[in-house]
Amino acid sequence: MKIIFEDLQHGEIKLLPQTLDDIWHLSNIIQKDDLVRAMTFRTDEQGTDKIRTKKTTKKRMKLSIRVEEIRFHEFSDRLRIHGVIEEGPQDKGSYHTFNVTADDKDPITIVKSEWKEYDIQRLQEAVQQTKRSLIVFVSLDEETATIAILRQSGVQWVADIQSHRSGKMYESVNTEKEYYGEIISLIKHNKPKTAPLIVVGPGFTKDHLIQYGKTVAPEIFQQCFNSASGNAGMNGVQEAMKSGVVDHITKENRVVFETNLVETLFVEIKKDGVASYGYKDVKEKLELGAVDHLLVADTYVRTQEGDGLIKLAQSQQSKFTIINTMHEAGKKLDGIGGIAALLRFKIEK
């Protein structure tokens, strides 16, 4: 994300999304009733008393819409912002939809009546994340390989590859090389040059892939890490994330950070330790100054209760993190109400 202009006194920020993760951040930042301004294309206005031509033309223009709906599908390539045209050369009062992608060359402007501190933090985080690499996973065994990408917004499944083996062993060395060759081809197509590669899975198949890959495509396997897991597929990727191998590569990835927080929370809940969950209990702990780190699900943060708890945490100098419910850890937090806290000390009941 690149911030081009900022005037918080008038609630205005102009920015340019540069990655798919930036689009995800925007889907959380832009809210109903915000004013969004952008360059777009709209059917050229024609006189109502004239017969329209059979072939309508699209005209490039700058419009501002009052947001009514924001649509973002997990790992889609665009954010749809729908609302009523409030500023522009034509069609004021009509509906229009902006389609924002990471490939756009034009910035967009967001105008809010009030920028919440967590929205500013998310923007700053997006700016910093643009400078960091993604992480590519290959999770495989003798039969199946899964390619996935760890983004700031979550783990993106890319493809599954079948080995087409038969019996307990490969029919030939060629069959094995075809399997590895197809995996390497997909890695080449999806792996950014600077992104680390993590190969995980049970047994020795992962070692054989790395050995073969270093021979035929050394540039891809230059920054490669090997980690054992009990499963292949997406389950193997999740195991690797929990094992600490990603922490070894980078401690700044958002999904890993959130996953570690939620896993710590559930460990403390299980042992009746320094943890609290549920709106009423967490609010009581905040008022007592006992909360070290407040965890709020993104599905809850825009509610009056969620916003109130964040403000209370700030007044108590407690840390807070908004947890993305698109990934596994976020779904776990959402499953216990979307509000929880790690405590500074335990309060006996």
Question: Does 117 fall in a domain?
Answer: yes
Question: Does 113 fall in a domain?
Answer: yes
Q: CATH number of the domain that 300 lies in?
A: 3.30.1330.30
Q: Is the pTM of this model over 0.85?
A: no
pLDDT for 222 equals 87
One domain, residues 230 and 292: no
One domain, residues 177 and 269: no
Question: Does 286 fall in a domain?
Answer: yes
One domain, residues 74 and 49: yes
Question: Does 218 fall in a domain?
Answer: yes
pLDDT for 195 equals 87
Q: pLDDT tens, position by position, for the chain (349 residues)?
A: 999 999 999 999 999 998 877 888 898 899 999 999 999 999 876 544 455 555 568 899 999 999 999 998 655 678 999 999 999 999 999 999 999 988 888 999 999 999 998 899 889 888 877 666 689 999 999 999 999 999 877 888 999 999 977 555 445 556 888 999 999 999 999 898 878 999 999 999 999 999 999 999 999 998 899 999 999 999 999 999 888 888 777 655 678 888 989 999 999 999 999 999 999 999 999 999 999 999 999 889 888 899 899 999 999 999 999 998 888 899 999 999 999 999 999 887 6
Q: Which residue, 24, 15, 75, is CA-closest to 254?
A: 24
pLDDT for 109 equals 97
One domain, residues 157 and 268: no
pLDDT for 206 equals 95
pLDDT for 75 equals 57
Final residue in a domain of this structure, among 81, 114, 129: 129
One domain, residues 6 and 124: yes
Question: Does 226 fall in a domain?
Answer: yes
Question: Does 278 fall in a domain?
Answer: yes
pLDDT for 48 equals 45
One domain, residues 118 and 145: no
One domain, residues 185 and 232: yes
Question: Does 349 fall in a domain?
Answer: no
One domain, residues 121 and 20: yes
One domain, residues 121 and 15: yes
Q: CATH number of the domain that 147 lies in?
A: 3.30.420.60
One domain, residues 124 and 7: yes
Question: Does 348 fall in a domain?
Answer: no
Q: How many domains does the chain have?
A: 3
- The three-state (H, E, C) secondary structure of the chain, written as one string: CEEEEEEHHHCEEEEECCCHHHHHHHHHHCCCCCEEEEEEEEECCCCCCCCCCCCCCEEEEEEEEEEEEEECCCCCCEEEEEEEEEECCCCCCCEEEEEEECCCCCCEEEECCCCCHHHHHHHHHHHHHCCCCCEEEEEECCCEEEEEEEECCEEEEEEEEECCCCCCCCCCHHHHHHHHHHHHHHHHHHCCCCCCEEEEECCCHHHHHHHHHHHHCCCCCCCEEEEECCCCHHHHHHHHHHHCHHHHHCCCCHHHHHHHHHHHHHHHHHCCCCEEECHHHHHHHHHCCCEEEEEEECCCCCCHHHHHHHHHHHHCCCEEEEECCCCHHHHHHHHCCCEEEEECCCCCC
One domain, residues 225 and 262: no
Final residue in a domain of this structure, among 186, 221, 249: 249
Q: CATH number of the domain that 45 lies in?
A: 2.30.30.870
One domain, residues 269 and 307: yes
Largest CA distance in the chain: 78
Report CA-CA distances (Å) from 175 to 149, 172, 217, 306. Answer: 26, 5, 18, 55
Final residue in a domain of this structure, among 62, 96, 129: 129
Q: How far apart are CA 107 and CA 3, in angstroms?
A: 9
Query: What is the domain extent for residue 332?
Result: 254-343
